[in-house]
Amino acid sequence: MTALARVARNAGWLLVNNGFARLVGLLTSVLLARTLGVVDFGTLATVLSYANTMIGFSDLGITAYTIREVAAQPERAEKWFPAGLLLMGLLLLLAFTAALGGGWSLGARDSLVLVVLVCLGMALSRMGSLIGAYTQGMEHMEVLAISEGAYRFALLACVSIALALGWRLQGVGWSYLIAGLVFLCVGFRMAVPRLLKPVRSVDWALIPRMIQGAVPYACSGYLAMIYMNVGVLFCAHWAGSAQAGYFGSALGLMVAARTLPGLALQAAFPTMTRQVAEDASNIEEWNSRAQRLILILLLPVSVVGIVFSREIVLLVYGKSYMDAAPVVAVLLAICVFAGLVNASGYVFTSVNRIFVAVKISALALVLQCGLSYLWTPRWGALGAAWALGIADVFTWLSCMVSLRFMLNLRFPIKAVARGLAAALLMGAAAWFLKPHLFWVGAILAALCVYGAALVAAGVLSDEDRRIFGRMVREVSGGSRDASRASRSASG
């Protein structure tokens, strides 16, 4: 099997595994909220976004360090996996505690049980995603079977909790409760035997090393999370308490929508990192492939995520909710270019094209401010777009810090300062421009720069199109092969 085929197959499997797990997390949270008749979806979405972000960045730290160690010592892969599984269990407990504290601090005392159970459901549904990440670059079918069993157990547990809670509070009926208990028993019988074996074989000496190695990765993500959350909450207070819930809802939808373009990056980046570790002479070639793949996929996948998230809210809460929250539409539109900035930060930095990412960051901010004029008052949404644009610059900076630890790359601090200054200047300029002229120019400029970036990266050349088509075919075939092998191993 060629290196390209191996990358495509592993990336396809990870993309399917992560995408389905996170989709279940979103559906679980919305359906539980609907079952309990929650009206303040904004508070719920804000709490969920905090918990989900914390889990995600901790997962990034543990996964990145584990992949690096497995690439350096492939023969010890079976030792690193149980240690990561045990550490992930501790992470889930911490996430549950943080969600409980977050729900209480945000004034959700009346819905405290809901917040706790929904956050627990999201944590459980992500377990398949977190464990599945360890299969990157490995050929151990037993690991895939363990991941699938753990994920099914978590999914069935979430369904059981939802059905039992609905029976208790809404009078759904005994039949639903019995069905939930049956699902829970089946999942327990299926997953526990597979989970106990690796946990018993944990090499406890690896746990401190894993924690120490994962801290730099996770801390950079926490830094980005702090800037993003502070910016959103600041804008919510600035816009007034009446819009605070809408900002919370938009933040929750942004997490869901930006997950999809992140998956496109996540599916290719770890395996390519392993390829670089095996053959450092080809680093430019692999980074170039990653750059082309992500630039092609990012915009359409982001749009799909935005539409999907919006339709879920419309389905559950009705059209009146969206009509009353125009800020949601603004921030959903921001997702496309915010996701482009954050994901491209990984790739552009890995090939030292830092100034390209800085320019895209500034232009994305221009578009954010322009779109904010379309639907919302000047004092509220403009501040949101401004703060979110600056937060995106810091998020991109944290991506650079992560890569610096992972691949020992260097980046100039002056470029970061220029990017932040550009964001501030663009926001200040937007403050004084006329709305009807500004948003038209901003959208046209952003589209032109996006097209120019694709051309400059060589995305539109015939050779690159052939490579992309071949990778898509390999991903499709590889994901099907991995699924069949997983089912046969679990059977």
Residue-wise pLDDT for 433-447, tens only, equals 444 444 444 444 444
pLDDT band at 295 (very low <50, low <70, confident <90, very high): low
Q: Is residue 372 part of a domain?
A: yes
- 38 Rama class: left (phi>0) / alpha (psi -120 to 50) / beta: beta
Q: Is residue 482 part of a domain?
A: no
**What average pLDDT does the segment 87-92 reach?**
62
Instruction: Please check whether residues 295 and 435 belong to one and the same domain.
Output: yes
482: nearest Cα among 128, 139, 38: 139
Mean pLDDT computed over every residue of the chain: 50
Q: What is the predicted pLDDT for the residue at 81?
A: 63
Domain total of the chain: 2
Asked if residue 256 has pLDDT above 60, the reply is no
At residue 457, the 3 state secondary structure works out as coil
Asked if residue 319 has pLDDT above 50, the reply is yes
Instruction: Tell me if 109 sits within 8 A of 77, measured CB to CB.
Output: no
Q: Is residue 291 part of a domain?
A: yes
Q: Using the 3D structure, point to which of 155, 182, 204 is the last residue of a domain.
A: 204
217: nearest Cα among 74, 50, 76, 346: 346
Instruction: Please check whether residues 383 and 330 belong to one and the same domain.
Output: yes
pLDDT band at 456 (very low <50, low <70, confident <90, very high): very low
CA distance 17 to 87: 20
- Tokens 């900035």: give the residue: 341
Q: Is residue 307 part of a domain?
A: yes
- Give strand ranges (E) for 251-401: none
258: nearest Cα among 446, 49, 95, 439: 49
Instruction: Please check whether residues 261 and 117 belong to one and the same domain.
Output: no
Q: What is the predicted pLDDT for the residue at 208?
A: 75
Instruction: Tell me if 136 sits within 8 A of 274, measured CB to CB.
Output: yes
pLDDT band at 34 (very low <50, low <70, confident <90, very high): low
Instruction: Please check whether residues 165 and 247 belong to one and the same domain.
Output: no
Instruction: Please check whether residues 339 and 428 belong to one and the same domain.
Output: yes
Instruction: Tell me if 404 sits within 8 A of 411, measured CB to CB.
Output: yes
Instruction: Tell me if 156 sits within 8 A of 183, measured CB to CB.
Output: yes
Q: Using the 3D structure, point to which of 178, 204, 230 is the last residue of a domain.
A: 204
- Boundaries of domain holding 251: 241-477
Give 153-197 pLDDT, tens digit per residue.
554 555 555 555 555 555 444 444 554 555 455 555 544 555 555
Q: Using the 3D structure, point to which of 179, 204, 229 is the last residue of a domain.
A: 204
**What average pLDDT does the segment 309-337 reach?**
47
CA distance 372 to 341: 18
Give the distance from CA 376 to its chain's centroid.
Answer: 27
Instruction: Please check whether residues 158 and 68 belong to one and the same domain.
Output: yes
Give 55-79 pLDDT, tens digit per residue.
555 555 666 566 666 666 666 666 6
Instruction: Please check whether residues 180 and 31 belong to one and the same domain.
Output: yes
Q: Is residue 365 part of a domain?
A: yes
Give the distance from CA 127 to its chain's centroid.
Answer: 14
Instruction: Please check whether residues 191 and 250 belong to one and the same domain.
Output: no
359: nearest Cα among 457, 231, 459: 457
**What average pLDDT does the segment 207-233 reach?**
55
Q: Is residue 233 part of a domain?
A: no
Instruction: Please check whether residues 178 and 314 belong to one and the same domain.
Output: no
Q: Is residue 213 part of a domain?
A: no
Q: What is the predicted pLDDT for the residue at 385?
A: 41
**What average pLDDT does the segment 227-237 reach?**
45
Instruction: Please check whether residues 258 and 179 belong to one and the same domain.
Output: no
Instruction: Please check whether residues 451 and 304 belong to one and the same domain.
Output: yes
Q: Is residue 228 part of a domain?
A: no
Instruction: Please check whether residues 86 and 163 belong to one and the same domain.
Output: yes
Instruction: Tell me if 192 sits within 8 A of 154, measured CB to CB.
Output: no
